[in-house]
Amino acid sequence: MEMKKLIFLFLTVLVVLAFAVPAQAETHHVSMKNRAFVPQELTVSAGDTVTWTNDDPMLHDVDLGALGESPDLRKGETYSMTFDRPGTYDYVCNIHPGMAGKIVVK
């Protein structure tokens, strides 16, 4: 009987722990292709990271205003940012007028 109680307690603790562990932060990818951010709008969870990759032969950058700005990225180069606070973050490429994107953090 005592052993059964012990096992039950152990299983209960396991279940509680499984729900207590927060969801893993994810990394999302945005491509810079044909002078556009793809996808142009992306929804992520607070704590997630977004990695931009320049898939164009020309230079691009990622300017998130107050949050930060990447250096000029050559083809194949990447820039990453982690979004900790919920909100809507518009960003642009300073090199190409009209090249803009949006990250929505939930």
CA–CA separation, 42 vs 32, rounded Å? Answer: 13
Smallest distance, Å, CB 105 to Cu ion? 23
Q: Strand order in 27-33's β-sheet?
A: 36-38, 27-33, 49-54, 78-82
Smallest distance, Å, CB 71 to Cu ion? 13
Residue 99 binds to Cu ion (criterion: CB under 5 A): yes
Residue with tokens 């709008």: 41
- Which residue from 60, 81, 83, 101 is in contact with Cu ion, where contact means CB under 5 A? 60
Smallest distance, Å, CB 42 to Cu ion? 17
Pick out residues in 23-52 that bind Cu ion (CB under 5 A): none
CA–CA separation, 10 vs 19, rounded Å? Answer: 15
CA–CA separation, 80 vs 8, rounded Å? Answer: 45
Residue 92 binds to Cu ion (criterion: CB under 5 A): no
User: Which residues sit at the interface with Cu ion, rule CB under 5 A?
Assistant: 60, 93, 95-96, 99
